[in-house]
């Protein structure tokens, strides 16, 4: 439920590109949303920063990640459930299929305030779930996912995102702290709705 998210968009991007006979495709993959801690929990260090991609793992690291998942499935057979197919296709879509696209955010700087203004039709997800990033397609469980990361690890995707904004000079540490504290507050109404 938590890890599949929107990963299959790579599969559908490639499929659409092939179906239409296109030579190039564009994707808006926000480089500030790197969450290397997820593979880090599996003992796999951060991937290299490819020119256009947010995440790139070496073949060896993909094997390590696959072995980690396989071990966890063997240790806890409860993972073998109705979500297995979705999780497997997400893993394959994200780590195995070709990602031959041009990332527009290598050429256009992503700006949070501008993104909110330009995407006013979808920003309700951010407002409803208390997270400023426009994560359409993931918003339905975002409140629960961030609470899970924060409870288990002591930080969430929110701190990762805000830290990357600090490194880019987009916000100050004080602003990041203020925003992170507000955004990490559990949204109990949203959690109730998801459950």
Q: Across 27-36, 166-175, 178-187, which has the greatest mean pLDDT?
A: 166-175
Whole-structure pTM value: 0.75
CA angle 6/53/93 to nearest 5° reads 40
* 97-106, 116-125, 167-176: range with lowest mean pLDDT: 116-125
**What integer pLDDT is reported at residue 120 of this predicted model?**
47
Give start and end residues of each alpha helix (H) in the chain.
Answer: 9-20, 37-40, 59-75, 84-95, 112-118, 124-129, 139-153, 157-168, 173-183, 188-194
C-alpha distances in Å from residue 158, one per residue of 59, 132, 180? 29, 9, 6
- pLDDT value of position 16: 92
For 29-74, the pLDDT digits (tens) are 888 888 888 889 999 987 766 555 556 788 899 999 999 999 999 9
Q: Give bridge partners of residue 27 from the DSSP assignment.
A: 103
DSSP bridge pairs for 102: 26
CB 144 within 8 A of CB 194: yes
Show me where the domains of the chain are located: 9-104, 112-194
């Amino acid at each position: 439920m938590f890890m599949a998210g929107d990963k299959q968009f790579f599969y559908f991007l490639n499929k659409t590109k092939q179906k239409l006979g296109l030579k190039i495709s564009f994707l808006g993959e926000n480089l500030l949303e790197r969450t290397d801690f997820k593979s880090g929990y599996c003992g796999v260090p951060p991937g290299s920063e490819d020119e256009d991609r947010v995440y790139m793992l070496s073949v060896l690291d993909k094997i390590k990640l696959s072995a980690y998942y396989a071990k966890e499935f063997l240790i806890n057979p409860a993972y073998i459930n109705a979500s297995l197919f979705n999780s497997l296709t997400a893993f394959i879509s994200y780590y195995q299929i070709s990602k031959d696209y041009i990332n527009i955010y290598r050429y256009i700087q992503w700006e949070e305030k501008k993104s909110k203004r330009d995407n006013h039709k979808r920003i309700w997800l951010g407002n409803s779930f208390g997270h400023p990033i426009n994560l359409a397609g993931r918003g339905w469980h975002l409140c629960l996912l961030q609470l899970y990361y924060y409870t288990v690890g002591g930080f969430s995707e929110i701190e990762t995102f805000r830290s990357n904004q600090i490194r880019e000079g987009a916000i100050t540490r004080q602003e990041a702290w203020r925003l992170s504290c507000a955004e990490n507050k559990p949204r109990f109404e949203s959690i109730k709705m998801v459950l």
